[in-house]
Amino acid sequence: MELTDNLMAFVERKLFTLNTGHAITAYLGKLAGHQTIRDAILDEKIRAVVKGAMEESGAVLIKRYGFDAQKHAAYIQKILGRFENPYLKDDVERVGRQPLRKLSAGDRLIKPLLGTLEYALPHRNLVQGIAAAMHFRCAEDPQAQELAAADCRERPAGCTGTDFRSGCRKRRGAGAVNDYNAIK
């Protein structure tokens, strides 16, 4: 147990690392036809994007809260190991459910992206994960159905609830739209 005076730092660490990585693994895994988080994270292409996204969001945490970079890298490795656990049968559809909530400005995908914009940090893998989330389809999930009806091709705000109309946010929003459109 680690005592802290700044609880928000550790809340965001979980959100930006574990939750972000878990969601991106699910969305990329679903697109690739994997059934479980374990199967998805064992896919080298998916693992590279997930690890990269957690490193990008981790860079925000290091900058914002002064986390030790080596300790945070070890935390990322621990989480990747958890995703690989053969005893956890975590279904990608279950983890991916409620994509609109997960794409909201204060949640696990957009909030770390906004942090990378705030600190002018790389975010390519986060954008790829967001694009995959915008493609999430699940017949049993009302949010996935609503997402399927949204026009993500041109208006990322319609899918993320984030206004990308000005400056660097517009360029990053265009990046998410381009990645979304590139996924078939």
Query: pTM of the entire structure?
Result: 0.86
Ordered per-residue pLDDT tens for the chain, 184 residues: 455 567 788 888 998 999 999 999 999 999 999 999 999 999 999 999 999 999 999 999 999 999 999 999 999 999 999 999 999 999 999 999 999 999 998 999 999 999 999 999 999 999 999 999 999 999 999 999 998 888 665 555 555 555 544 444 445 555 555 665 666 5
Alpha-carbon dihedral 28, 30, 34, 36, rounded to 10 degrees: 90
Q: Which residues are CB-neighbours of 154 under 8 A, at least 6 positions away?
A: 177
- Count the alpha carbons within 13 Å of 156 in the hemisphere toward its beta carbon: 28
The CATH code of the domain at 7-182 is 1.10.1040.10
Per-residue DSSP letters for 146-161?
Answer: HHHHS-TTT-HHHHHS
